[in-house]
Structure formats: structure tokens, C-alpha cells
A and B are shown apart, each in its own frame.
Chain A
Amino acid sequence: MLYSKKKFALVDCNSFYVSCERLFNPSILKKPVVVLSNNDGCVISRSTEAKKLGIKMGEPYFKVEKIIKINDVKIFSTNFALYGDISRRVMKTLKQFSPQMEIYSIDEAFLDLSSVKNDNLLEHCYKIRKTILKWTGIPTSIGIGTTKTLSKAANYIAKKEKSGIVDLVNSKKVDSLLSEVKINNVWGVGRQLTKFYAKNGINTAYDLKKIHNGWIKKNTNVFGSRTAMELRGLPCISLEPHEEKRKNCCVSRSFGKKVTKLEELSEAITAHSLNAAEKIRLDRQTVKKITVFIRTSPFLNKKNYYANSKSIDLAIKTNDSIELIKQALIVLKNIYRKGYRYQKAGIILSGLEDINSYDKNLFSTIRNEKKREKLMKAIDYANAKYGRHSLSIAQAGIKKIWSGKKQHYSKIDTASFKLLPTVRI
């Protein structure tokens, strides 16, 4: 072979948010459980039992409310503090099995297992799975392949296997397994590409694998042919062990109740700006461009539906909360229309750059820049020490009537003394 044989494993936590909720709540272990997105809007995690009831991923709550009530499905609001802590534990455990690791999302990671002998691959992965379950209580599925895309596909099949592990490195039935994977479930194939492939009779991962490379090169972009090559076992995407610094930062929430007034929207946008500014300061980044967006419910008819967004380029890169709020509110005023019932508002900071490349600007609108930097530092310090939102800006609102509902919040945080899980004796 022309290339050195690589081996990747994709470890993915099963129904991760549900599994986290189950960790300290054995009463829901074998029952159908779902976790709802912010503001209890949509289903974002389902237990196997809930999947069997036909509850789909991403479905809005009101559409599945009936199934949930009839079958006594347990529902939870998101508890990201808990999920974040459990995720860190899973990743720390994984790290012991391969120092070459890429955390891909809150609940999945790629491991480079090239140094493990082919004969030992399966056993090694059994051990990984067993250890994670014992140490953290989280069940996982593992897919193994000679490229990242193949390991993703293997993982997709593993989800349905009882053993929870599928190894495409040693398998003699790779092609028949790949024909089980529908094209829209192939890593790197988005909605547009799926449509295009379907038109051309490419319906599974196997179809894409056997298609002529020249055709793909001609008809899709570089990413398309990269995916096809990876399915053939040619590694094109390498492991990215170092977390890349983000280039965008988005903070948005659905409202707990519909919002109509500009003042309420301003409060929300102020709070989101504060949140975003805090995040980028933590990463020592500055922002060049702010986008603000607002929208009503997408399920409304044309007359009552409104969505808009606008961006503003900043004269000077900054991470100053007060400056960001000021600019964001200007944009908000510009896109706000009276007479609509708003459901969601958010802010996106883009063009993020490291603070090192921060250069002083002649046209800075911030007077006393040094003092303001100190003020931001003081705010961040106080919030780190006394808990988030201890020190805020009054404009962000104190009552926050617009903030999301969390009716089914589990009130457990394994990383906070105030919300530790309890046991009865």
C-alpha cells in the first residue's frame, strides 16, 4: 500500500444527555426519557425506549406532547453544567487509552489507535467501553476504521449492535456494512449534497465509495472527493488533537414567553452580548464584527412571521462588554419591528482574533481604554469567584422575564457544591 496504515476509533456516548440524567436517577433507567432544548423547545436527546415510541430528534415539544403524555415519557430541561462535567470526565478517561485524541463534540472523540495491533483492536475497544461505563456511568459506541470517515460510519452501525463496537479494519464485509449506511448519515455529506447524490443514484456510503473519482471531482467540491477517498480507506482528514480556537461565537436563546417590546429584546441582547464577551475574553480573543438576529416562531403564518438579522463592522477590534452591548443595541433597534411576537434573539461575534494581534486604533471610541480593561478584568474575576452573573450590567435586566423556562431541570451539578447529587441513608 502507498500510505501507512492508520487506525482511528470514534467513541460516541449513547443518548448522552439522557445518560447523564440517568446517572444519579436510577428510577428512569429503563424508562423512555427525553431531554428538551433551551426553553423546553425541541427534543435533543432520546433514550432507546423513547426512540422506539417514534419520537424524532429535533422535533418540537408540542408535536410529541401527546406521545409523551400517553407513554409517561420522562422529560428533562437541559442541564449543561452537569453534561459539561460528565463530558470532561469521559474525555479524561479516554485520554488514557490514546494520547492522540481529538475531542470532536461534547459527547464524541476520535482516537488514533495506529499503534494497537490489528489483532488486539477489538479487545482494546472493549476495554475502553467497559472502563468509561464503570468510571463515568456513560454507555458508549465505538467505530473503528482506517480513516476518520470510516470510523464514523462504523460508529453509526455500532449504535445498532448489541456489542456497541464495529471494526471495519479487520472486517471482511466492509462493503456490505457500508451499504447499510444511508448517504445522509455519512460524515461530511450535508443536506445539499445528499439531494445531489440521490439524484445520481448514490444512496449509501457504499455507492459513494465505488463511484469513479473523476466523476466526484468534476461534480462536487474538494470536500466531496475527500469523503469518497476516505470511504475507500485513503486517509485525507488528520486528527486535530489541539482544540482550535473558535472563529465565531454565537449566543442565542428562545424566550420563555413571547416578547413584543423593544425594551425586553434589548435586555436579552444585552445579556447575550455580556455572555459572548465573557467567553471571548476567556479565550483572549477580540471581535471584528457583530451580528444580531431576532425572529418570531417559524410555525406562524406569513402575516405574523418576521425574521431579520444585521451585522456591524467594528472600527476597532474589542472584547469590551460595554462597547459590544452598545453596538449590538444599535443593530437591534435597526431590525426591530413593532407588532410581532418574538420567540428568539441572539448575537453572533465573528472574525475573532487572538488578543496578541490587537493593535491600538486611532479612532477608538472607548475613552480611558486602560481603565475599561481593568473593569472587564474585575468583572470576570468576580464572576469566576462568586458564580456567573454575580456582577452584571443593569441593562441586562434583573428579573429577566424573557428568559427561558426550565420546568424539568434536574438541579444537579457534579462540579458545584451547591447542587451536588444526594443519597439517602
Chain B
Amino acid sequence: MKALLPFHLNKVGAGFPSPATDYVEDDIDLNGHLIKNIPSTFLIRVQGKSMNNVGIHDGDLLVVDRSLNPKNFSTVIVNINEELVVKSFLREKNETFLTSGSKKSEDKINLTENSEISIWGVVTYVIHAL
């Protein structure tokens, strides 16, 4: 799963050495950028089209961190009716809700009233191919 993009620098040879070699650190590491907590982070693929308006599309990869607690407007993976689905997490006054990203109020699920619904993880990045 490691994807490394190398910096191409001069090979040591005759002549004046590259002044950039003083600044060489490491290869750029997308894993380190996208994954803050390795053991708790999972990649999950998306199926369906109902969240295009929040920037999640069919076939996208979600980076999901289970160790995080959701904040207002977090995108989360939840277990509803024996299935894992993607929802938006909202906090209003002392209550928390889940929505599908649409403005329709019937889509809004009150989390405080539905204790059987559990949050599986918090989506931290969407990887979308263009």
C-alpha cells in the first residue's frame, strides 16, 4: 500500500555537486500525509451516487480513522440497519444528527433518539480519480 514519489536529484559524479543535495530529506510520503494513525485507519471504497453534492462519488476511496470522534459537519461511516453507510454528522444544541448531505428534513436521523445506530469511523480524506 506504500506509494512513494521520489525526488530526482543529481547522481554523484564529476563536476560541481548539486546545491540542492543539502536539502534532501526523504521521499515525499502520501501515506504519512493521509494516515495519521496507522492501526486505526482503513481504506473503504464507495458505492452509489447519493453524496455527489458533498464531493463523494461512486468508486472513490475513503480514508477512515476509527480513533477520531466526529465533530460538527464531519463525514462519518455509520452502522444503520445492519449496514455500513456514509453520512454527515451534525450537532445542534445538545443533540446530534445524521444526514445524507441533502437539505430534506426527512433524511435527518436523530442520533440521541436512535441509540442502536453506532458510529464506525470518521472520514478524513476522499481519494477521487479524475
**Is A422 touching B66 in the complex (CB atoms < 8 A)?**
no
**Is A424 touching B42 in the complex (CB atoms < 8 A)?**
no
Cβ-based interface call for A222 (8 A): no
Looking at A133-141, A148-156, A236-244, the stretch in contact with chain B turns out to be A133-141
**Is B86 touching A425 in the complex (CB atoms < 8 A)?**
yes
Q: Which of A27, A29, A89 has a CB less than 8 Å from the CB of B40?
A: A89
Contacting residues of chain A (400-425) with chain B, CB-CB under 8 angstroms: 414-415, 417, 420-425
CB contacts (< 8 Å) of B120 on chain A: these are 137
CB contacts (< 8 Å) of A135 on chain B: these are 37, 39-40, 66-67
CB contacts (< 8 Å) of B83 on chain A: these are 26-27, 424
Cβ-based interface call for B34 (8 A): no
Report the nearest A residue to B59, measured CB to CB: A422
Q: Which of B43, B51, B66, B86 has a CB less than 8 Å from the CB of A136?
A: B66
Nearest-Cβ distance from residue B45 to partner chain A, whole angstroms: 5
**Is B79 touching A422 in the complex (CB atoms < 8 A)?**
no
Cβ-based interface call for A93 (8 A): yes
CB contacts (< 8 Å) of A131 on chain B: these are 67
CB contacts (< 8 Å) of A29 on chain B: these are 79, 82
CB contacts (< 8 Å) of A415 on chain B: these are 1
Contact A424:B61 (CB < 8 A) given known A26-B79, A93-B40, A135-B66: no
Nearest-Cβ distance from residue A409 to partner chain B, whole angstroms: 18
Q: Chain B interface: which size bin?
A: 20 to 34
Cβ-based interface call for A90 (8 A): yes
**Is B39 touching A136 in the complex (CB atoms < 8 A)?**
yes
Q: Which of A88, A92, A134, A421 has a CB less than 8 Å from the CB of B42?
A: A421
Cβ-based interface call for A24 (8 A): yes
Task: Give complex CA distance A424, B56 in Å.
Answer: 11
Cβ-based interface call for B98 (8 A): no
Task: Give complex CA distance A90, B62 in Å.
Answer: 21
**Is A425 touching B47 in the complex (CB atoms < 8 A)?**
yes
CB contacts (< 8 Å) of A92 on chain B: these are 38-39
| Binary CB contact string for chain B from 43 to 82 against chain A (1 if under 8 A, 0 otherwise) | 1111111110000100001100011000000000101001
Report the nearest B residue to A131, measured CB to CB: B67
| Binary CB contact string for chain A from 114 to 151 against chain B (1 if under 8 A, 0 otherwise) | 00000000000000000100111100000000000000
Q: Which of A26, A88, A137, A421 has a CB less than 8 Å from the CB of B45?
A: A421
**Is B40 touching A425 in the complex (CB atoms < 8 A)?**
no
Q: Which of A26, A93, A137, A422 has a CB less than 8 Å from the CB of B47?
A: A422
CB contacts (< 8 Å) of A137 on chain B: these are 66, 120
CB contacts (< 8 Å) of A93 on chain B: these are 39-40
Task: Give complex CA distance A135, B122 in Å.
Answer: 11
Nearest-Cβ distance from residue B58 to partner chain A, whole angstroms: 8
**Is A423 touching B84 in the complex (CB atoms < 8 A)?**
yes
Nearest-Cβ distance from residue A132 to partner chain B, whole angstroms: 9
CB contacts (< 8 Å) of B38 on chain A: these are 89, 92
CB contacts (< 8 Å) of B45 on chain A: these are 420-423
Task: Give complex CA distance A26, B45 in Å.
Answer: 17
**Is B46 touching A422 in the complex (CB atoms < 8 A)?**
yes
CB contacts (< 8 Å) of A414 on chain B: these are 42-43
Nearest-Cβ distance from residue B114 to partner chain A, whole angstroms: 14
Task: Give complex CA distance A422, B48 in Å.
Answer: 10
CB contacts (< 8 Å) of B66 on chain A: these are 134-137
Q: Which of B1, B39, B49, B77 has a CB less than 8 Å from the CB of A423?
A: B77
Nearest-Cβ distance from residue A120 to partner chain B, whole angstroms: 22
Report the nearest A residue to B84, measured CB to CB: A423
Task: Give complex CA distance A421, B100 in Å.
Answer: 20
**Is A425 touching B39 in the complex (CB atoms < 8 A)?**
no
Task: Give complex CA distance A233, B125 in Å.
Answer: 50
Report the nearest B residue to A415, measured CB to CB: B1
Report the nearest A residue to B75, measured CB to CB: A425
Q: Which of B37, B42, B50, B61 has a CB less than 8 Å from the CB of A425?
A: B50
Nearest-Cβ distance from residue B120 to partner chain A, whole angstroms: 8
**Is B67 touching A424 in the complex (CB atoms < 8 A)?**
no
Task: Give complex CA distance A423, B123 in Å.
Answer: 12
Cβ-based interface call for B85 (8 A): yes
Q: Which residues of chain A have a CB within 8 Å of any CB of chain B?
A: 24, 26-27, 29, 88-90, 92-93, 131, 134-137, 414-415, 417, 420-425
20 contacts between A and B (CB under 8 A): A89-B38, A89-B40, A92-B39, A131-B67, A134-B40, A136-B39, A137-B66, A414-B42, A420-B43, A421-B45, A422-B44, A422-B45, A422-B47, A423-B47, A423-B62, A423-B86, A425-B46, A425-B48, A425-B49, A425-B51
Q: Which residues of chain B have a CB within 8 Å of any CB of chain A?
A: 1, 37-40, 42-51, 56, 61-62, 66-67, 77, 79, 82-86, 100, 120
Given A26-B84, A424-B84, A425-B56, 9 new contacts (CB under 8 A): A27-B82, A29-B79, A89-B39, A89-B40, A137-B120, A423-B77, A425-B47, A425-B50, A425-B51
Query: Lowest 8 CB-CB distances: which A-B pairs, in order?
Result: A135-B40, A27-B82, A89-B39, A92-B39, A425-B48, A26-B79, A425-B51, A425-B86
